[in-house]
Amino acid sequence: MTDKVGGNTVLVEFEEGIAWVSLNRPEKRNAMSPTLNKEMTEVLEALEIDDRCGVLVLTGAGDSFSAGMDLKEFFRESDRLPPEAWGQIARQAQIWQMQRLKNFPKPTIAMVNGWCFGGGFNPVVSCDIALAANEATFGLSEVNWGIIPAGNVLRSVALKMSDTNGLYYALTGDTFNGVEAAQMGLVKFAVPQAELKEKTRELAKKLLSKNRAAIRAIKHAWRKQEEMSWDASEDYLMAKLDQLRLTDPDKGRSQGMKQFLDDKTYRPGLGAYEKKE
């Protein structure tokens, strides 16, 4: 089923627990306009509480992931606005990319199916896991037209890529492909274009098979502990572990330990325990 949750610039298709979310401006290489940014915020808010979404896959319609921010609608037309109005438009992009998506309570996968430039890096990095087609093209082209990769794009790149690689591509504006993106740690896997959607589907199904409460707790804990000291992190993570034992409706810890220690039906390092209805 296809459901236009946010509007015409974002499409959502549901498939057995997977929400395939597509940036839908293929004629503009899915460049992100103020309208698209607003609709993506609405989509993410809706999917947080939609039971049809167990895993969110973010991709682009057509042969591109995203060419970044729309130069005409996001920059040139916004230059005519007063600073307050421009600030609202800029914040809308950050709200869905760096807040809603990064802190989405369910697993998220970026499926980079093609062209990914500039602002397109932010949602890739904000997703929990990213895959790319070997043939995808990545680039930080801002230097080629006299600006810097702003809006936290440089910060996103620095989180995933070394100074050696990140600075090279930011300073030269050169492009790189999906295979190179995987080698540099920007994405986890790169596969041939023809295999990308099936590989993504397999990963999504693997995530769907895991304990939902544990997945949510791991995601939340990962984001929060990044800025903590080692001692604070240890206290926080132990508290999260105790919280999970009390709030997990599936009682995964008890089920897993029983099946491993008593029933001898599974081994934690080789798969997941069997969920009991």
Please check the confidence at residue 76 and state whether its pLDDT lies above 60: no
Task: Tell me if 237 is assigned to some domain.
Answer: yes
* 171 and 235 assigned to the same domain: no
Task: Characterize the bridge pairing of strands 115-117 and 64-66.
Answer: parallel
List helix spans (H) across 5-104: 34-48, 83-94
Written as six digits, the tokens of 107 are 């697993």
CA distance 214 to 6: 29
Please check the confidence at residue 4 and state whether its pLDDT lies above 60: no
Domain that holds residue 243: 212-270
CA distance 253 to 5: 36
* 19 and 123 assigned to the same domain: yes
The band of 240, judged by pLDDT with boundaries at 50, 70 and 90, is confident
The band of 13, judged by pLDDT with boundaries at 50, 70 and 90, is very high
pLDDT confidence of residue 1 = 39
Task: Give the domain CATH number at 125.
Answer: 3.90.226.10
Predicted TM-score (pTM) of this structure: 0.89
Residue 104 region by backbone torsions, left for phi larger than 0, else alpha for psi between -120 and 50, else beta: beta
Mean pLDDT on 261-272:
71
* 134 and 253 assigned to the same domain: no
Residues across the chain: 277
The band of 15, judged by pLDDT with boundaries at 50, 70 and 90, is very high
CA distance 244 to 227: 21
- 39, HSE (Cβ side, Cα atoms, 13 Å): 19
* 42 and 166 assigned to the same domain: yes
| Counted domains in the chain | 2
Please check the confidence at residue 6 and state whether its pLDDT lies above 90: no
Give the residue among 200, 214, 204, 198 at the shortest CA–CA distance from 254: 214
* 24 and 83 assigned to the same domain: yes
- Domain boundary (183, 208, 233) is at 208
Locate tokens 């100074």: which residue? 163
pLDDT confidence of residue 106 = 98
Give the residue among 136, 133, 137, 135 at the shortest CA–CA distance from 196: 133
pLDDT confidence of residue 93 = 83
Give the tens place of pLDDT for each residue, 25-50: 999 999 999 899 999 999 999 999 99
Give the containing element (helix H, strand E) for 208: helix 193-208
Contacts of 183 (CB under 8 A, 6+ apart): none
Mean pLDDT on 57-73:
92
Q: What does DSSP assign to residue 134? A: T
* 130 and 264 assigned to the same domain: no
Task: Tell me if 34 is assigned to some domain.
Answer: yes
The band of 277, judged by pLDDT with boundaries at 50, 70 and 90, is low
CA distance 149 to 151: 7
Contacts of 234 (CB under 8 A, 6+ apart): none
CB 176 within 8 A of CB 139: yes
